[in-house]
Structure 1
Amino acid sequence: MAAAHDGHPEYVGFVGEEAWWTEPRPTEGGRRTLVRRRADGTEESVLDAPWNVRSRVVEYGGQPWAGAERDGEPLVVFVNFADQRLYRYEEGGEPRPLTPVSPVGGGLRWADPLLRLDRDEVWCVLEEFTGDGPTDVRRVLAAVPLDGSAARDRDAVRELTGARHRFVTGPRLSPDGSRAAWLAWDHPRMPWDGTELIVADVTGDGTLAEPRTVAGGPEESVAQADWAADGTLVYAGDSTGWWNLYAVGQEGGARPLCTREEEFGGPLWKIGWRWFAPLDSGLIAVVHGRGATALGILDPETGEVVDAAGPWTEFAPALATRGSRVLGIGASPRSAYEVVELDARTGHARVIGAAHDDPVDPAYYPEPQIRTFHGPAGREIHAHVYPPHNPDHLAPGDELPPYVIWAHGGPTGRAPLVLDLAIAYFTSRGIGVAEVNYGGSTGYGREYRDRLREQWGVVDVEDCAAVALALADEGTADRARLAIRGGSAGGWTAAASLATTDVYACGTVLYPILDLTGWGSGETHDFESRYLETLVGPLDQVPGRYAERSPAEHADRITAPFLLLQGLDDVICPPAQSERFLAKLEGRPVPHAYIAFEGEGHGFRRADTMVRVLEAELSLYAQVFVLDPPGVPTLELAK
């Protein structure tokens, strides 16, 4: 059940009066489909398998579709994952390609499309590989003709900008169409370090003239920008240490709209994420908060925010507006992510899509606790603690439960407080879970996320250990039965924790970074190829630090059993990292298992993969913690 319900709706939008969004299909090979909600309230998947609406721009992807109504019928463009081409879809017909295939490197990729029906074009981000290497790539804004003339002719794609910047987001057009705005940044910065907000005039022939930077810079992150109905440019920038909203008028100069010690933006991992969306009335729909996020309506004249009433305690960075209607994606500890519509006039919010339906009795769900712990030097550490819970069983009165510390990925990210059936899978079997938003996590201001600067492998490891030991010291967890698990950057933290501490009895490491030197010298994709310069330091200046912190260099220190899980198609944390790590373990009596999955990339999406992952992980804990879960295949541990 956890595998079948893995993933959630992601990119919302309006096509005419209808709400559309993307939605995962774990049981259909992990593809993502486009879902349409008709006027009568019925939902339908617009595209059958094998269509997969997902972009690979910067590998993490971004907004993969856009739609509009033409002559009373929907016209939609979308990116298909298999070939990364942009397609045109109209009701009753088959999707038709709009862009060509390139045999060079990773080919041509597209994201964050904007339909320009007045020009019969799609304006979007073009990522074009110029060679076979992962960093042989350029990114520009481009215009793709809607008539299909570029399907076999790269020259028919009109470039709107030069490749002056390494990274760009899709353009946003002012209401009168006279100006376009987008974000740009360059290596070695990540978008949460510093970005530029660029504005250009749109000429009569559809070109962008006189681009100029109006906000942001190397030390200020602009997470998003969009136009208000009166032609004011609104953006989320963190010059105060928090992503707050500002307005830039025709005359220039930034005016704060709402100054609070909370976030109205976030880390731009995917091109096109939206934390705010202006309404025709001049109000602004916002996803905001400190830690957890809410959906609210901001009055930019007064700075007041009125939050939507409802059970949701977390909203994803996905918003769309039409008239007074706002689409968002909300969840809570008792419900998975669902598509929510808020009426900005009445304040009424309701679920209109992907409605949560309990696959099991909610009595089996864990009851999370929002906790703040303290680490070295008394620094605060935010965490969510999920005690074991099963209404059919009671633990022995004299026995403390085992706990697994979950380290989230990113590491510039955050674990949201939402229903996760993978967590319930363990808590219902007597194993507690603690999700740690260690120093470096977002949602708590720039100072908190900057704790990880040049301290990756130190602060994250210390914070996870501090939470684990605090749970043991207070009598919540069994000190002898603590484990750690994480994927991607969380996999790094898990492996580094096993190599540098004696806190954990075992660990689960999913699609991890294990060798900093290899990862930082050409082994990963372009987007994160210079990420380690802020997380660890420049490789040419501190090479010893790269070796000192890498679990692959210290596999001989690991004595605790572990499970290593890897996607063979992973280009972000490639299998070579795991294979080198395992080679260092040869001849050492450390119980471990390695499972590699064909057809899986960075992050597992197929239901059968998730079943295998959860059962293997539970079997590891069962063997180490001396448990006997029924019906779970035994994981063979090599020694």
Structure 2
Amino acid sequence: MPDTSRSITLPYGSWPSPIGASDVAGGAPRLDGARFVGHPRDSGDAAYEVWWSESVPSESGRTAVFRRTPDGPEALLPPPWSVRSRVHEYGGGAWTATDEGVLLFVNAADQRIWRTVPGEEPAPLTPADGGMCFGDLTLETLPGGGARLWAVRETHGAGRTPARDIAVIPLDGSAADDAGRIVSAVAGSDFLAYPAPRGGRLAWIAWNHPDMPWDAAELRVGRIAADGTVLEHVTVAGGRTAAGPVSALQPEWTGDDELMFTADPTGRWNLHWVRFDGLAATDPESIQPGDADTGGPLWNLGTRWYTPLDDGRVVAVRTHGRDELALIDPTCGALSALETRLTSGVLVRDVRGSRVLLTGAGAQEPGGLWLLDVDARTLEALRGGVSALDPEWLPRAQAMSFPGPDGDVHAFAYPPTNPGVTGPENERPPYLVLVHGGPTAHSSGEPSLAVAFFTSRGIGVLDVNYGGSTGYGRAYRERLRGRWGIADVADVAAAARGLAAAGLADPDRIAIKGGSAGGWTVLCAVADTDVFAAGITRYGVADLRRLVEDTHDFEARYLDGLVGPLPQAEALYVSRTPLSRPETLRTPLLILQGAEDPVVPPSQAEALRDALAENGVTHAYLLFEGESHGFRRAETLVRAFEAELSFLGQVLGFDTPDVPPLPLD
């Protein structure tokens, strides 16, 4: 570590840093869900255990469930058990727990639902065959005692397109050898989410190809028969309406006859509610309209942006650029800010009384699991949320906007930050432009070791929320409609040029990095602009036609909206894909790919590698065995970050002595 008592001057990119790739790999925990488990003590002080799920990079990236103890986190499932759903490929809602401490989870290896009490061997609840996987696990407490388990079920047969329904799974294990004991409650839609049973009714969200859930999704409510089947149902809100498409999400019962949800009929996801008499519903009533989103892209099942408290108040995440938490009185729409340190990636995980479990990060707090006491106005970090690194090493995000061809482009800039080193006065720093995936994802300016890994070495980072990103309303995200590979490229190029024009970055040393959909923007940006000196793509889309042919059902029609429907738009698919015009690929590229990626298979990365080799362009291709879409293993993450730094140093012209040199072809 450099001597911080006095500053030394070194070339940007070559600053010594205490942050290694292994620190990034084992940094802020990758949290999935969290629950309160247990009953209030007789004294009424509502003492519960807190359980959560977390990826463990050092154990091949498996996801384990932990509970909090005075001695630290205790794993409730030993290896090789791993909690992960593959419904819609991205999963979500892969576990839940009873107040008695029974864990119900989807095992990643076989996609069966298992039941266990910590310390005992798990027992299966669903059969080993039948091609079924489950997600969005939801427990319903029955009025006469007992419970039943609801889930979104995806069944894969001989064809490419799986069938989906909402199912009821017996908790006594009788379906482990007899799939017929699983009750199909409701089907008839391409996709389903959020099973919410209460008072003899089931609420859920449904949508069909070619829509994605953020395009148009319906809130439906049906009457439940004694065996769990839905006898009849009505559409309450959302879908393809006369006024335009509406995305309804996250139904939550606030009473036996009162249902809350979030929807965007005005272009922002805001809270609404309806009331029922049988299946007759009132018109949806807006609770708290505003120029912020309580909602987002439903990539993972079970994602929640708000929660009703027992007394009727609502804790909601509201997003416009950054996240904020608010307390809403739905009876009058009154809103008051909940002043917390959390501003990025904030999601609601569970609630008991006035206490809420949240995941997210702050402007200076790494991601973690948090306990918010609404009445006491306290926020406690239960897992993560605190960096062992001196805050001086963490760059502060600077919200910036740049003029683009479609309007302002929003971004967060992280300048080079090292308490003991400065750059030469006559030198401007290299910058790495980050392009998030989705392309509906959103960056909120949170600190991370993944960013500090570069900024501590004198490489600035610019995280761009290009048109298509969520967090700024429907109009902003629909800038990309029909223009993927054009509008996003123009936006990231405009942001990079704006940064250089402001004197903050060396215009000749700006690189760009993205994963998945962000990898596609990287590829198009280096092919179609002269802004970027180097590109890094992680499991990135490289060929639109191959993506349509190879990808899974959830995204099989995604490109209808982003590019256009096939075969009518085939000429667009060909013209937009740089692999169709390989002569445009002249910029050095680093390609990082998982060998078992079902979303963007290795064939795309290898076609890109071959085109670069044919053109004689400097490149490197790393294929990681055992990795899927998104890297999870510690050894993979270490190798990837070290490779990225070495690649940038070689291409942009600075030394990287603390990482192994990456061989370039």
Note the alpha carbon deviations across 1:244-300, whole angstroms, 9 max, x for none.
010101142111100101101111111110011111111112111212112222111
C-alpha deviation, 1:581, in angstroms: 2.2
What is the aligned partner in structure 1 of residue 560 from structure 2? 533
What is the aligned partner in structure 1 of residue 384 from structure 2? 355
Match of 1:424 among 432, 452, 468: 452
What is the aligned partner in structure 2 of residue 18 from structure 1? 49
What is the aligned partner in structure 2 of residue 240 from structure 1? 266
The SS at the match of 2:265 is coil
- Is contact 1:229-1:282 (8 Å) kept? no
- Is contact 1:12-1:318 (8 Å) kept? no
State the distance in 2 between where 1:375 and 1:7 align.
35
| 1:157 and 2:157 aligned | no
C-alpha deviation, 1:318, in angstroms: 3.1
What is the aligned partner in structure 1 of residue 195 from structure 2? 171
| 1:461 and 2:489 aligned | yes
Note the alpha carbon deviations across 1:180-232, whole angstroms, 9 max, x for none.
10000000000000001010112334322211111111210012211113631
Instruction: Pick closer, same or farther for the CA change 1:53–1:159 going to 2, 3 Å.
Output: same
Note the alpha carbon deviations across 1:84-115, whole angstroms, 9 max, x for none.
11010113311111111226xxx211011122
TM-score by length of 1: 0.95
Match of 2:251 among 196, 206, 225: 225
The SS at the match of 2:560 is helix
What is the aligned partner in structure 2 of residue 401 from structure 1? 429
| 1:113 and 2:137 aligned | yes
- Is contact 2:140-2:197 (8 Å) kept? no
What is the aligned partner in structure 1 of residue 474 from structure 2? 446
What is the aligned partner in structure 1 of residue 163 from structure 2? 138
State the distance in 2 between where 1:544 and 1:180 align.
44
The SS at the match of 1:331 is strand
C-alpha deviation, 1:165, in angstroms: 0.1
C-alpha deviation, 1:551, in angstroms: 2.3
State the distance in 2 between where 1:497 and 1:616 align.
21
The SS at the match of 2:320 is coil
What is the aligned partner in structure 1 of residue 538 from structure 2? 510
Q: How does 1:179-578 map to 2 (within 5 A)?
A: 179-218=201-240, 219-229=245-255, 231-250=257-276, 251-351=281-381, 353-376=382-405, 379-520=407-548, 522-578=549-605
The SS at the match of 1:293 is strand
State the distance in 2 between where 1:311 and 1:59 align.
33
C-alpha deviation, 1:461, in angstroms: 0.3
State the distance in 2 between where 1:363 and 1:586 align.
42
Note the alpha carbon deviations across 1:297-334, whole angstroms, 9 max, x for none.
21112222233333222243333111222111131132
What is the aligned partner in structure 2 of residue 29 from structure 1? 60
- AA matched with 2:499: L
Give me the identity figure in percent.
Answer: 43
State the distance in 2 between where 1:202 and 1:636 align.
62
| 1:128 and 2:159 aligned | no
State the distance in 2 between where 1:366 and 1:217 align.
42
- AA matched with 1:248: V
State the distance in 2 between where 1:91 and 1:564 align.
42
- Is contact 1:55-1:61 (8 Å) kept? yes
What is the aligned partner in structure 1 of residue 27 from structure 2? 5
Structure 2 unaligned blocks of 5 or more: 1-22, 39-47
Stretch of structure 1 that moved more, 303-312 or 143-152: 303-312
- AA matched with 1:418: E
State the distance in 1 between where 2:147 and 2:361 align.
38
- AA matched with 1:235: F
C-alpha deviation, 1:151, in angstroms: 1.3
The SS at the match of 2:402 is strand
State the distance in 2 between where 1:602 and 1:540 align.
27
State the distance in 2 between where 1:147 and 1:299 align.
40
- AA matched with 1:257: I
- AA matched with 2:186: T
- Is contact 1:80-1:86 (8 Å) kept? yes
Structure 1 unaligned blocks of 5 or more: none
- Is contact 1:309-1:348 (8 Å) kept? no
State the distance in 1 between where 2:570 and 2:29 align.
38
CA RMSD of aligned residues (A): 1.6
- Is contact 2:183-2:227 (8 Å) kept? no
Note the alpha carbon deviations across 1:430-460, whole angstroms, 9 max, x for none.
1111000000100000000000000100010
State the distance in 2 between where 1:89 and 1:305 align.
42
- Is contact 1:308-1:342 (8 Å) kept? no
The SS at the match of 1:527 is helix
- AA matched with 2:619: H
- Is contact 1:11-1:318 (8 Å) kept? no
Instruction: Pick closer, same or farther for the CA change 1:42–1:617 going to 2, 3 Å.
Output: closer
C-alpha deviation, 1:132, in angstroms: 5.2
- Is contact 1:405-1:483 (8 Å) kept? yes
The count of residues paired between Structure 1 and Structure 2 equals 623
Note the alpha carbon deviations across 1:133-161, whole angstroms, 9 max, x for none.
3xx20100111111111112221211111
Q: How does 1:34-73 map to 2 (within 5 A)?
A: 34-37=65-68, 43-69=73-99, 73=100
- Is contact 1:593-1:637 (8 Å) kept? yes
State the distance in 2 between where 1:410 and 1:466 align.
20
| 1:608 and 2:635 aligned | yes
The SS at the match of 1:263 is coil
- AA matched with 1:36: R
- Is contact 1:124-1:171 (8 Å) kept? yes
The SS at the match of 1:354 is strand
What is the aligned partner in structure 1 of residue 43 from structure 2? none
State the distance in 1 between where 2:35 and 2:420 align.
43
State the distance in 1 between where 2:403 and 2:321 align.
17
Instruction: Pick closer, same or farther for the CA change 1:24–1:13 going to 2, 3 Å.
Output: same
State the distance in 2 between where 1:598 and 1:132 align.
27
State the distance in 2 between where 1:355 and 1:515 align.
38
| 1:75 and 2:102 aligned | yes
Stretch of structure 1 that moved more, 143-152 or 614-623: 143-152
C-alpha deviation, 1:120, in angstroms: 4.9
